[in-house]
Amino acid sequence: MGGYADVYSAWKADPEGFWMEAAKAVDWVKPPTRALDDSNAPLYAWFTDAECNTCWNAVDRHVEAGRGDQAAIIYDSPASGGVKSKITFAELKDKTARLAGALASKGVAKGDRVLIYMPMVPEALVAMLACARIGAVHSVVFGGFAPHELSVRIDAAEPKAIIAASCGIEPGRVIPYKPLVDEAISVSKHKPDFTVILQREQAQASLQDGRDYDWHALQDAAEPADCVPVGGGDPLYILYTSGTTGAPKGVVRSNGGHMVALLWTMRAIYNMNPGEVFWAASDVGWVVGHSYICYGPLLHGCTTVVYEGKPVGTPDPGAFWRMIEEYDIKALFTAPTAFRAIKREDPAGEYVGKYDLSGLRALYLAGERADPDTIEWAQKKVGVPVIDHWWQTETGYAIAANPLGIEELPVKLGSPTVPMPGYDVHILDENGHEVGPGELGAIAIKLPLPPGTLATLWNADDRYKSSYLTTFPGYYETGDAGMKDEDGYVYIMARTDDVINVAGHRLSTGGMEEVLASHPDVAECAVIGVADQLKGQLPLGFLCLNAGCDRPNEDVVKECVKLVREQIGAVAAFKLAVVVDRLPKTRSGKILRGVMVKIADGSEWKMPATIDDPAILDEISDALQGLGYAKG
């Protein structure tokens, strides 16, 4: 394969040839004669003259190749009292074919949408694959989303059917899903033809005659369905990104390019071999769950893990280490937030030593900026490469990474390493001009985006163009700010709106967070910019301290202010910080900095649909009022 520089140069020299070669990993019904379709630029499409089926590639072909007895899915659920099971590829083929047949018997056909509202159970993957099997377009909504948010997505996607579970299980509570689905349908303009409900013993749902069908009963009478060929450019799924304002954006992923890209990443980035166990500790409701719980590992013939639990509290900070030992997991992919939670509960790493982690080859982090302190802690305690990589819901896989399957590049703390083939990354100033190494700017990717990235937004081509392609013509605007160094390493410093302007100096809140996180008592932190009459904006820090820290809060705050002053300088004007018990986050672990800014500035704000625990915002508001903010 050659080293990274050779592979990247080969892509740049001949993108068409590069992706046509990568496409050989897919089992096509009708192979493509070309990779890129630029006939509708700037809406680019990939492998549009090919025919394929994603379910066939993820399931059936492994059975045909004699791997039917291999585990496809491992299910481990500390949340439900320790339920565990395994599903082989042969069993997965049977399950997906039967559910696909049941959906088809109720009139679901190629191109129809099916909304999936499920917790972390294997049936969520079965539902996704069953849709792919018959060419239906699935739209997974994170289980437990409020009825209003669910109804917005019902009206946007107009699904023929909804597949849901009767409940989800969080530590210490059961969340009945069926009442949320019922309420969402009642307020939606679009009404699905029917729903399919997986009954869980923790909360049985009452079914409405003629509309609601039991998961098992519906399938009992159905004929198993074969895989339906679809076009390479036909949509596989819609995944809604939830903005805090406005209607959610439905990212559309196409069948052909999605398979080509994910298959390439499983070997090149994650260094995985068929038959090995890959674990993405995320949720099927997020893009990581789509790419690396469901499709990526299964397409590559790996065993994937569906984990219904948390990094801490189910039952302790050793939960992840127990999983790695028990299932001989080769690669773990999770959010930095998960590791910060483990580190906060077990700063000395005592739980790590209780388990045999010798099978683990690498740990991958994405979803939030991975602060150097967390990476160093993980490297020290776990003893494997800790790889930060950067991507987005829109891209579906890593824009920048350390491609262990090609070459393990030197790690630079704070950088997700280098752009992957397909991504021509540029750092631009406000006028669209390239800035020099080490200078902060907007991160943009030269068009076309590679296979597997968003084709457009569902029923919203113009919104796709205005949201992503207008600020810098000829480029995709990532919405992230950062820089490149002289070696071409990329640094993601903040969302563009998290770059603050202090007395004319453009400063990254992410840079300040890195400094704060290096303090030995700080487990986790966030920095926001608050309005200031004199300087325009001022940085304000929120600090969560390690479990067992018994020092006075004001001492830690003083030391943190001094640290920022020493390492970033007086220009940062960093004088304000407050200790809080926890930070407001989405369920996927992203810190809700934008909402915190609005609370601080007394602006109107909307409760984010994705928030993990709304009560935290009251605590943040109280803390801000104590500093003289949040008076609006």
Q: Residue 632's pLDDT is what?
A: 56
pLDDT, position 504: 62
143 is a domain residue: yes
Kindly report the CATH number assigned to the domain that includes residue 603.
3.30.300.30
Please indicate, yes or no, if residue 476 is contained in any of the structural domains: no
pLDDT of residue 506: 64
User: Which of 201, 228, 255 is the C-terminal boundary of a domain?
Assistant: 228
Contact 288, 295 (CB under 8 A): no
Q: Are strands 212-214 and 45-46 parallel, antiparallel or unpaired?
A: unpaired
- Residue 566 is which amino acid? E
DSSP character string of 149-201: HHHHHHHHH--SEEEEESEEEETTEEEE-HHHHHHHHHH-SS--SEEEEE-BT
Asked, for residue 68, whether it belongs to a domain, the answer is: no
Which tokens sit at 55?
A: 């379910």
Could you list the residue range(s) of the whole structural domain that residue 542 is in? 503-626
Domain boundary among the residues 228, 247, 265 is at 228
Determine, yes or no, domain membership for 131.
Answer: yes
Contact by Cβ (8 Å): 443, 480 = yes
How many structural domains compose the chain?
2
User: What pLDDT shows up at residue 493?
Assistant: 80
Q: CB burial class (10 A; 0-12, 13-18, 19+) of residue 356?
A: exposed
Q: Has residue 352 been placed in a domain? A: no
Residue 416 included in any domain: no
pLDDT of residue 244: 40
Round to whole Å and give the CA distance between 364 and 269: 10
Q: Is residue 376 part of a domain?
A: no
The pLDDT value recorded for residue 1 is 52
In a domain, 473, yes or no: no
Q: Which residues of the chain have pLDDT under 70?
A: 1, 242-246, 494, 496-498, 503-506, 631-632
Point out the domain boundary residue: 228, 243, 263: 228
Give the residue among 407, 366, 398, 383 at the shortest CA–CA distance from 271. 407
CATH number at residue 134: 3.40.50.980
